Structure 1
Amino acid sequence: MSYISVLSYTRIVTSVVFLVWYILMVSAAYFGFVEILLKFNRRPNLSNDRDENDKYEGVTIIRPIKGIDPELSSCLESSFCQNYPSDKLEILFCVDDPNDASIPLIKKLIAKYPNIDAKILISSNFDPTTNSSDDHYGPNPKVNNLAKGFVASRYDILWVMDSNVWASSNILKNSVISLNDNLNNGRKQSDTAKRTVKLVHHVPLALSVNPTGDSKDEQEYVLTPTHSDDDSETSSSSSITKSTRKRFLKNFGAKLDEMFLLTSHSKFYVSLNNLAIAPCVNGKSNIYRKSDLDRSVALMPHYQEKSEFFHDEKVVNDAKYYSSLGPGHSIKFFSRYIGEDNMIGIALWENALGKTGLTGDVVIQPLSGSDNGINDYITRRVRWLRVRKYMVLLATLVEPTTESIICGLYGNYAISTLFMNRWFTWWLFALHLSIWVVTDYVQYHVLINNIVSPRNLDYLPNWLINIPPVNRSVWNWLYMWALRELLALPIWVIAMFGHEIDWRGKPFKIKKDLTAEEL
């Protein structure tokens, strides 16, 4: 009698289900990994056969700004340094507060590049006591700020880019070619397919800049005991002091974000985009046509019955209203959502038969490595998990199963049960984790190579010339990788048992219809 026959029915069924799910998750992970190896090993430089006049279509870059983010000047300057004809470029800096600290910095950049059409757009009738203006269409402050840029834009192609990210010089050219030629990572998509590329986006990464604890001396100071000349303190010298421990943990937030975005997130982000089952969009850097978005919002009433997200009567009435105001006003419709990037992707997917496309480029958010703690990282991850919980509930519920430890545990249970007649196999789990960590290490450095390889690059800020990840030891990397993996499940649990999020210093509650309510 086979040992399978003596196993409980429940155990067999759960083992088969877990095995199937394990295979799916591992396949999705390594599908993204292989694509990153092939298409992100260096910065791309796409080209097409169009003549010079048709190749470069006019583009409006819109950057919403509030306050001073780390390395703000160089992030904004990257918009001026695109390998793109200056007479086909418009840059709009959207600011709410006329006294915003970023305005003098932006004025200096505009003066530095007089050949590029750039201007600052300030919201009307801003009230500093309430931190609001007449440009208020919903609870999303980013969309409220962006709206004036959409309406004022000269060109149909819009590049909406957060103020705190930096882009290399070929990204705009690559993106316009991808948008017009229906490309994803340089590959031509089928012209007979139902959907074509309507939104081009870029893999978002983060770097811990000006971090402490990366140099050898600082590592020794942080990780070794603090000795005293006083014999009375010898007994306590073997432990890390409270102040040293505080310093040790203080700078981990940026490194954890960096690790998350360069490993787990980018792997599945690239994979899901290529699978094209549904739109998967991060709003750090997106390029699409204003006319496509306007048409998508205008068509919502016609597809009301079929839409999973835009069927509520008030939603449909607002879509009608904003569509009636003219070109560019449709962006105001999305001010009701905190995750406007994902909802724009869904609108283009449902009503413009659009899909998303990557270019093989990344955009980089510099994060302060000296005052960015673990709690800051946890707060950021919890915030976006809570937003996603209402937008893509099923995907958020199964997210822990995409992480190395949980994925390894249920995969190990399935394989051990079905093929080894045991509950758990340590060597199999060790093999799973070893393969996962090696592929993450390789992927991490492939993306770092994409960042530091200045192919056709005219502008490289100081913080990118010698970035810390290049010089980190394997053990330093492994320590941060393990900490990130161990925190994944606790962060998910915290996010699931809560509804409030903090956005730019304001508390919001996400409602079941995906809209946000400011508290």
Structure 2
Amino acid sequence: MLDYVSLSSLMYALSGFAVFFFVFWCGMWFIHITAIFYGKYKLHRKVPLLPQEMPYPGVTIIKPLTGVDPNLYSNLETFFTMSYPKYEICFCVEDDMDPAVPLVEKLCKKYPNVDTSVFIGGQVVGVNPKINNMQPGFKAAKHELILISDSGIRMKEDTLLDMVNHMKPDIGLVHQMPFTWDRKGFAAALEKTYFGTAQARIYLVANFLQLPCHTGMSTLTRKSIFEDMGGSLKVGRFLFPLV
């Protein structure tokens, strides 16, 4: 009798595990298939231009910098060559001796028609050093739309236009799909694989299901949102938990 009860309990437990792993397997396939089809539908489409009679809203791009990352110069240069009529770039650096400063100055001289500003030293508004670094640039922002963009982000000529097109009146935040440019080394290969597979699937499926899931590496939002909550980026610990 004891052996029969023990065997029955074991079979019951194994059945439970089998059901769990079957549901998990089906869920993973759902994520894979949904991401593939939604990515095919959503990505790589031609960005429609805004009607000429509609004014293009100005955008302030805040670039927090510290040190020189691989491809930093070419990454930053893509922000100077975008096909968008009205934007400014605010570079935020903690120390004037930072090696990123000469690169920024070189680009500013190369593209004098682009509205740029360099802010040295941050302001302590919270525990996140990146948020503290960006605070002077945020306060000096000339435009309502704010693009917070990491140093490793690259832009195509129509990327900013695409993001602004998605910033509808009832939308408060637009972010980009993460993807890693080619770099040398194992860590770079691992990062590119991760952002191009597992992480990309999560964001695609979350966007398809309209779930709140975003990355703080490249985020377009409205300055008025922060002003309504105190006029500071210190709320970044809530809006940008990944930065």
With normalisation by structure 2, the TM-score equals 0.88
Q: How large is the Cα RMSD of the aligned pairs?
A: 2.3
**What are the superposed Cα offsets for residues 320-351 of structure 1, whole Å, 9 maximum, x if unpaired?**
xxx1xxx4x2x1233xx4xxxxx316xxxxxx
Residue number in structure 1 paired with 2:63: 63
How far is the alpha carbon of 1:290 from its aligned partner?
A: 1.0
Residue number in structure 1 paired with 2:31: 28
Residue number in structure 2 paired with 1:260: 194
Question: The residue matched to 1:118 in structure 2 has which SS?
Answer: strand
How far is the alpha carbon of 1:208 from its aligned partner?
A: 3.0
Residue number in structure 1 paired with 2:49: 47
Question: The residue matched to 1:138 in structure 2 has which SS?
Answer: coil
Residue number in structure 2 paired with 1:269: 203
1:291 to 201, 224, 239: 224
Question: The residue matched to 1:84 in structure 2 has which SS?
Answer: coil
Q: What is the aligned residue count?
A: 236
**What are the superposed Cα offsets for residues 254-302 of structure 1, whole Å, 9 maximum, x if unpaired?**
112111111221122211122123x21111111011112333xx3xxxx
Q: What amino acid maps onto 1:262 in structure 2? A: G
Whole-angstrom distance in 1 between the partners of 2:108 and 2:98: 16
Question: The residue matched to 2:117 in structure 1 has which SS?
Answer: strand
Question: The residue matched to 1:46 in structure 2 has which SS?
Answer: coil
Whole-angstrom distance in 2 between the partners of 1:7 and 1:69: 55
Q: What amino acid maps onto 2:34 in structure 1? A: F
The alpha-carbon distance between structure 1 residues 143 and 63, as it changes in their structure 2 partners (threshold 3 A), is same
Q: Which runs of 5+ in 1 are unaligned?
A: 124-132, 182-195, 212-250, 299-322, 338-342, 346-386, 389-502, 504-519
2:177 to 191, 203, 220: 203
Alignment of 1:306-317 (within 5 A): none
Q: What amino acid maps onto 1:34 in structure 2? A: F
Kindly indicate whether the alpha-carbon contact (under 8 Å) linking 1:161 and 1:286 is maintained by their aligned counterparts in 2: yes
**What are the superposed Cα offsets for residues 401-434 of structure 1, whole Å, 9 maximum, x if unpaired?**
xxxxxxxxxxxxxxxxxxxxxxxxxxxxxxxxxx
Question: The residue matched to 2:57 in structure 1 has which SS?
Answer: coil
Question: The residue matched to 1:9 in structure 2 has which SS?
Answer: helix
Residue number in structure 2 paired with 1:141: 129
Whole-angstrom distance in 2 between the partners of 1:6 and 1:332: 54
How far is the alpha carbon of 1:68 from its aligned partner?
A: 0.8
Residue number in structure 1 paired with 2:78: 78
Q: Which has the higher helix share?
A: 1
Q: What amino acid maps onto 2:150 in structure 1? A: D
Counting aligned pairs with the same residue, the percent is: 33
Alignment of 1:49-448 (within 5 A): 50-54=51-55, 56-85=56-85, 88-123=86-121, 135-180=123-168, 196-209=170-183, 211=184, 251-277=185-211, 279-295=212-228, 298=229, 323=230, 327=231, 329=232, 331-334=233-236, 337=237, 343-344=238-239
Q: What amino acid maps onto 2:116 in structure 1? A: A
Q: Which runs of 5+ in 2 are unaligned?
A: 1-7
Whole-angstrom distance in 2 between the partners of 1:52 and 1:285: 28
With normalisation by structure 1, the TM-score equals 0.43
Kindly indicate whether the alpha-carbon contact (under 8 Å) linking 1:59 and 1:157 is maintained by their aligned counterparts in 2: yes
The alpha-carbon distance between structure 1 residues 175 and 23, as it changes in their structure 2 partners (threshold 3 A), is same
Kindly indicate whether the alpha-carbon contact (under 8 Å) linking 1:206 and 1:258 is maintained by their aligned counterparts in 2: yes
Whole-angstrom distance in 2 between the partners of 1:162 and 1:288: 15
Larger radius of gyration: 1
Kindly indicate whether the alpha-carbon contact (under 8 Å) linking 1:207 and 1:255 is maintained by their aligned counterparts in 2: no
Whole-angstrom distance in 2 between the partners of 1:284 and 1:108: 24
How far is the alpha carbon of 1:70 from its aligned partner?
A: 0.9
Kindly indicate whether the alpha-carbon contact (under 8 Å) linking 2:226 and 2:235 is maintained by their aligned counterparts in 1: no
Question: The residue matched to 1:90 in structure 2 has which SS?
Answer: strand
Whole-angstrom distance in 1 between the partners of 2:205 and 2:46: 18
The alpha-carbon distance between structure 1 residues 47 and 7, as it changes in their structure 2 partners (threshold 3 A), is farther
1:8 to 11, 35, 41: 11
**What are the superposed Cα offsets for residues 85-144 of structure 1, whole Å, 9 maximum, x if unpaired?**
1xx211100111011111121111112222221110111xxxxxxxxx6x2223311101
How far is the alpha carbon of 1:147 from its aligned partner?
A: 0.9
Kindly indicate whether the alpha-carbon contact (under 8 Å) linking 2:60 and 2:88 is maintained by their aligned counterparts in 1: yes
Whole-angstrom distance in 2 between the partners of 1:175 and 1:46: 11
Question: The residue matched to 1:167 in structure 2 has which SS?
Answer: coil
